[in-house]
A and B are shown apart, each in its own frame.
Chain A
Amino acid sequence: MNNENNETFKNAPNMSLMFTMYSTTFGNGAFQLLPPPTGNMEDGFPSIPYLSLEAIIYQQQSSNPLSAPSTVLAGASAGQQVIGSTQTANDATGIPRYIIGNQAK
């Protein structure tokens, strides 16, 4: 007999939650609500996906670095940033859009 309670696949959503669907403004946008019961009798306890605190913290730190862009030229539409980080994600034009780490002054 299978026992759903022991299955760990339900923890898998963490990665997608971390990178795409958890924001500090809107919260856990991808959280999976329990579907309504099917009427079939279950042989375990219903469980909800595990969302780790570490995932949220990592996402927060990535999207809200404590050090703001340090040099913004007055009157310019784009500031200057010196990026000191271990990983960046650039858009098609090469502009860093996503930074894992801190922006150096």
Chain B
Amino acid sequence: MAKGFKNEERYKIHNQYFEGGVSIDPKIGVANSFYQSQGLDFRSVPSQLSVLPGARTVAINLQDTITAMVQDVNGVRYGVGDGGGFYRINTSNVVSKVAQLDSNGAAGLYYNQVTDQIYIPSQTTVSLYGQVTSGNPGNPTFRSAQFGKSASTAPGCVNLFDLSSGYYAGLSRNNSQSITTGITSTSQVTTNATQTYALKTTYAENVVEGCYFSPDIEPFYSIAVYIAAKGTGNWTLTLHDSVNNQLAAQTITNANLTSGAYNEFVFGKQIRALVNAAQTGKNSSYHFHLTSTVADGTVGTINSSDFTSTDFLLFAYRLVQTNNGWHPTAFFNSASGSFLCIGNGPYLSTYNFGNDTNPLNSMWNRHALTLNLGHEVCGLTTNNQYLVIATEKRSTTANRNFQEGALYFWDGTTAQPNFKIDIPMGAPYGVYTFNNVTYFCVGGSLYAWSGGQTVIKVRKLAYQNTDYLGAVDSTIINPNMLTSRYSLLMIGYPSTTTNVNINYGVWSWGTVELSFPNSYGYSYSLANNIQNNNTGGITNLKIGSVYNFVDTMYINWSYTDAGGITRYGVDVVDNFSTPATTFNWQSLIYDGTVIYKTKIGTRYKIKFNSFPAGYTLTPYYILDRGTPVYATNTPKVGDTDILMEVTPGRFKEIQWGFTGTSSGATQPLIISGITMEIEPIPDEVDLRKDSQS
């Protein structure tokens, strides 16, 4: 209720309810909001602030940053690091490294409780660890790259082109299509080649000197060619696309060639290709040439002197090496079956657990869905009957980012996603479904989707824009940064950023119950309280992932210290945590909605329950957005308030707050009221030059 200037009573600007949470504006917000808080619980009992448990570091013996976690049925947890380390976290939170992947970890991990195996994607393969609770307890087997390259058995690769039908429906080059397991080695395959083609020393771009095929899997790992007689020369396989761009050229010296066998030309890097593209036989999407330095070798063919009928096997990597380095995982039940889903660059891969030893390509479907080419999956979750697939477009140059992403929705039964929502605002990071609302982070803000045509911008997380930052902003949120804890959404934010203004930590969103609003706040900092990258000698600050298991939340982090040493760790917040070592709160700016008028602050009081041992609490106020003025005293144990004189107190805008520390405390400090007393000085002329204030 407004007060007239004639009212001589001093105003008490009082904060006694706090359920509004952190406002995005320094002056206005929903009722009972404030400008900032750290380490304080303002929801559980909205009429008070209490100090939250703080994170404590339980391990620093890691070699990389954990980006994905799972728990087995016995309660042992596992984490995979971005550097490929695979860690076991026992029931006492002792972390030990149990394996090293063949390449970097990919922020994906899945535990199949039935088979008791953990599936661990790395950059181009998927490894297997188990059985973790049964079989040989305490001694699981790590099967590195258990799911690696495999050969295509699709007609476009195996069958000759049939001019009469217009399809690759002719004779088979080999018996690969009758083999009932996946083909991971040429030794599994028997050639059908009974004829030969004599190699030349050069090739011509014509329809008889290229072997054309239409692949169903990519990226290419190798092409194995059946050599009838190797002759005396060194052989070179040259891979072209449909317009004869050279994609790869691989040479095997004669000494390393074997006659009467498949010889594998391994490209050494992934060769990206279009799969299942329309093809018309000899104008197909890809072809290769074979040459020898001496024209005395022959390759096995189906038809005599017909190079297009060469017997070959096309091997592809299991996973696409992505720019974002991620292969997020999710388990998905659909009407057509249950799958392990793995984000695979511009594809969604599915595996039906059909054969852990050596699945057919139909069991491990690399390209169950083809998404936007150029996009890469950056998160998976489920919402109702849909698998939600978040994709981004990731640049290889960190300071020249794309602004492009999408959410795909798939019910598991269709050849293409059921529908799609473009996210032109940027990459939809950290996608996570909570209360059947799918949340994600884009460009410094939190978004939500729950069945509508549009995505909903919920609120600012860290910034609305980066105007005047003076640096290129590159802010990344890893796939597993959002989780739920005590019915609240926890948002680890960010994973990495070049923006020095963003505070690293775990932010919370939600409400204690339906009568109170959803609110937002900075709940948990890292145990070391490092909050800003590129500040104070800290570089490469990273939060790899955040996971919550009932009452235990893990925050996985790393940074490079001033001495150039990179440190990795695991923080935990659980029922044994002591109060946060630092906490703070700051009010909105008060101007009485008469910013032009001078007022006088007189006293500032913080009311709390009996002040517990182990705490400090320092009130402060800020006049006209100047430097904080801190109290010089702190409450004694057993005190129930602290009072601070505001002097000199003339202001047009005033803001107040407190900072606190705890050490050795075991119970929360509970603050029940925060009051600033204002003298409205109604008899003073309102409109004056500021310099006359």
Given contacts A39-B594, A42-B592, contact A50 B30 (CB under 8 A): yes
Q: How far is the CA of A44 from the CA of B14 in the complex (A)?
A: 7
Pick from A2, A10, A54: contact of B31, CB below 8 A.
A10
Majority secondary structure of chain B interface residues (helix, strand, loop or mixed)? loop
Given contacts A24-B452, A57-B437, contact A45 B27 (CB under 8 A): yes
Which residues from 2 to 50 on chain B have a C-beta closer than 8 Å to any C-beta of chain A?
A: 2-5, 9, 11-17, 20, 27-33
- The answer to whether the Cβ of A48 comes within 8 Å of any Cβ in the partner chain is yes
Which residues from 576 to 596 on chain B have a C-beta closer than 8 Å to any C-beta of chain A?
A: 587-588, 590, 592-594
Chain A neighbourhood of B3, CB < 8 A? 1, 40-43
Are A6 and B17 in contact (CB-based, < 8 A)? Answer: yes
Q: Which residue of A lies closest to B589 (CB)?
A: A45
- The answer to whether the Cβ of B453 comes within 8 Å of any Cβ in the partner chain is yes
Which residues from 1 to 17 on chain A have a C-beta closer than 8 Å to any C-beta of chain B?
A: 1-8, 10-11
Q: How far is the CA of A100 from the CA of B17 in the complex (A)?
A: 35
Q: Which residue of A lies closest to B590 (CB)?
A: A45
> How many chain A residues touch B (Cβ–Cβ < 8 Å)?
37
Given contacts A40-B3, A40-B4, A42-B593, contact A61 B448 (CB under 8 A): no
Chain B neighbourhood of A44, CB < 8 A? 13-14
Q: Which residue of A lies closest to B12 (CB)?
A: A1
- The answer to whether the Cβ of A90 comes within 8 Å of any Cβ in the partner chain is no
- The answer to whether the Cβ of B450 comes within 8 Å of any Cβ in the partner chain is yes
Interface string of B445-475 (1 = CB under 8 A from A): 0001011111010100000000000000000
Chain A neighbourhood of B28, CB < 8 A? 34, 45-48
Interface string of B202-216 (1 = CB under 8 A from A): 000000000000000
Are B450 and A60 in contact (CB-based, < 8 A)? Answer: yes
Q: Which residue of A lies closest to B594 (CB)?
A: A41
Chain A neighbourhood of B31, CB < 8 A? 5-8, 10-11, 47, 50
Given contacts A39-B594, A40-B4, A45-B28, contact A3 B453 (CB under 8 A): no
Q: How far is the CA of A47 from the CA of B33 in the complex (A)?
A: 8
Are B458 and A53 in contact (CB-based, < 8 A)? Answer: yes
Q: How far is the CA of A71 from the CA of B2 in the complex (A)?
A: 59
- The answer to whether the Cβ of B517 comes within 8 Å of any Cβ in the partner chain is yes
Are A60 and B453 in contact (CB-based, < 8 A)? Answer: yes
Return B622 CB to nearest CB of chain A, in Å: 15
Pick from A39, A40, A53: contact of B448, CB below 8 A.
A53
Are B30 and A49 in contact (CB-based, < 8 A)? Answer: yes
Chain B neighbourhood of A8, CB < 8 A? 31
Q: How far is the CA of A45 from the CA of B4 in the complex (A)?
A: 16
Q: How far is the CA of A56 from the CA of B447 in the complex (A)?
A: 12
Are B32 and A2 in contact (CB-based, < 8 A)? Answer: no
Q: How far is the CA of A54 from the CA of B326 in the complex (A)?
A: 32
- The answer to whether the Cβ of B375 comes within 8 Å of any Cβ in the partner chain is no
Are A45 and B29 in contact (CB-based, < 8 A)? Answer: yes
Return B412 CB to nearest CB of chain A, in Å: 15
Pick from B5, B15, B33: contact of A41, CB below 8 A.
B5
- The answer to whether the Cβ of B518 comes within 8 Å of any Cβ in the partner chain is yes
Chain A neighbourhood of B588, CB < 8 A? 45
Are B593 and A46 in contact (CB-based, < 8 A)? Answer: yes
- The answer to whether the Cβ of A52 comes within 8 Å of any Cβ in the partner chain is yes
Are A6 and B16 in contact (CB-based, < 8 A)? Answer: yes
Chain A neighbourhood of B16, CB < 8 A? 6
Interface core residue of A2, A42, A52, A61 (most chain B CB under 10 Å): A42
A-B contact pairs, 30 of them (CB 8 A): A1-B11, A3-B12, A4-B1, A5-B32, A6-B31, A10-B30, A24-B453, A24-B454, A40-B2, A40-B5, A41-B11, A41-B593, A41-B597, A41-B680, A42-B592, A43-B11, A43-B12, A45-B27, A45-B587, A46-B28, A46-B593, A47-B20, A50-B20, A50-B30, A50-B31, A53-B458, A61-B450, A61-B451, A64-B453, A66-B451
Closest 4 A/B residue pairs (Cβ): A60-B452, A40-B2, A37-B593, A2-B1
- A interface list, Cβ under 8 A from B: 1-8, 10-11, 24, 34, 37-50, 52-54, 56-57, 60-61, 63-66
